[in-house]
Structure 1
Amino acid sequence: MQQHALDLRKGVLIRHQGAMCTVVHWNIWKSDRRSRVQMRFKDVLTGRMHEVTAQGDDKYEVLENESLDLTHSYREGDEEVFYSTEGEEYRCSAEAASDALLWKADLYRGLLIDGQLVMVSLPQSVIATVVECDPPVKGQPNLQKEAKLDNGIVIKVPLIVAMGDKVRVDPAELEFKERA
């Protein structure tokens, strides 16, 4: 299905220069004559970013896709194996799932195009355990310190968080949300 650049929105899956891409950034620039659309695409398979400035009436092919909940099962060679909640098996390249698998989550979101799993993403928040940080300090809730999580990622947490605490984290922004 073809859509004008003005009709695209953030999160839409399109085909750009033969590659499957998601729209990461979308902004309209209006001038006297025509409106232009500034977009940033992320290649689903390689992760590369493309910056494009298009006319408002330029057309892009929008890809039909399906999103479903998956659980990670195991790794086989250079593929990761996931199962849907209905028990169907899906495989994708380890590269396509590598960012999501840094975090331990009960459910991942899978993106299917033509019945093939092409991308795995995380939920909005995940729970991780603090394995290394300074001792907790009470009474100053707005100050933060660095804490290392069980997956090796370092984030900023409030001073009251102690080693061994479970915390809810936004994996996209690497931001502390709350203690779990």
Structure 2
Amino acid sequence: MLSTTEFHEGLIFEDENGQLVEILDYQHHRKSQARAVVRVKLRNIHTGALIETAYRPEDKFKEVDVEKRPFTYLYTSGDRATFMNSNDYEQVEVPLEKLGDQKKYLKDNMEVTGLYINNQLFSIDLPIKVPLKIASTVPGVKGDTVANMTKEATLETGTVIKVPLFINEGDTVLVDTRDGSYVERVNA
């Protein structure tokens, strides 16, 4: 059993309702004469819903066996993406709907992480920042150096993002896979 003293960010456990949740943030609170509580911001693993709640220090929770394994993205066929386990070369198909918005940033031979819960593949996590080439964009005009001005650019994966005016076709940029935002231009 898991107690609140063992909480840390990223911990996955089964809450009192039997739901699998991940700790995003937590704080120990104690007001003068009141009992101590642990305020926790959680993410429901199945639905993605955010939950804010408080637990007493004596509350106990069921631990969940979580393992991360390295995978390589191979290809997409229809509504399924195929990944290869980098350790034993076993191939696994994952429905694209399970990847959510992350599917927009998949690139051949990309290294990803497979999250296993209770020895079953639960999800695929992409790196937070991914280098992608700009497939097309309107050319920047000399003198367009006003701060915070952006234009649309299509990535090699077909996804359209906003980039600064100085980014040109053929440039490689880092993209944040959590929100699809431009991070910086990189040399590739």
Give your verdict on TM over 0.5: yes
CA distance in 1, matches of 2:153, 2:144: 22
**Where do 5+ consecutive residues of structure 1 fail to align?**
none
Give the residue type in structure 2 aligned to 1:165. D
Does 2:183 match 1:177? yes
What residue in structure 2 maps to residue 34 of structure 1? 35
How far 1:102 moved relative to its partner? 1.7
C-alpha contact (below 8 Å) 2:12/2:22 kept by paired residues: yes
CA distance in 2, matches of 1:146, 1:89: 39
Tell me which moved more, 130-139 or 5-14: 130-139
How far 1:93 moved relative to its partner? 4.2
C-alpha contact (below 8 Å) 1:6/1:28 kept by paired residues: no
How far 1:140 moved relative to its partner? 4.2
Does 2:140 match 1:135? yes
**Runs of 4+ displaced beyond 6 Å:** none
CA distance in 2, matches of 1:126, 1:6: 35
Does 2:147 match 1:145? no
C-alpha contact (below 8 Å) 1:138/1:160 kept by paired residues: no
CA distance in 2, matches of 1:40, 1:30: 17
What residue in structure 2 maps to residue 63 of structure 1? 64
CA distance in 2, matches of 1:27, 1:40: 9
CA distance in 2, matches of 1:76, 1:104: 13
- What is the alpha-carbon root mean square deviation over aligned residues? 2.8
CA distance in 1, matches of 2:38, 2:7: 9
Instruction: Summarize the Cα distance change of 1:12–1:143 in structure 2 as closer, same or farther, 3 Å threshold.
Output: same
What are the equivalent positions in structure 2 for 1:110-121 lying under 5 Å apart? 110-121=114-125
Give the residue type in structure 1 aligned to 2:27. N
**Where do 5+ consecutive residues of structure 2 fail to align?**
none
Tell me which moved more, 99-108 or 85-94: 85-94
How far 1:91 moved relative to its partner? 4.1
Count of aligned pairs: 178
Q: What is the TM-score of this pair, normalised by structure 1?
A: 0.80
Does 2:140 match 1:124? no
What residue in structure 2 maps to residue 89 of structure 1? 91
Q: What is the TM-score of this pair, normalised by structure 2?
A: 0.77
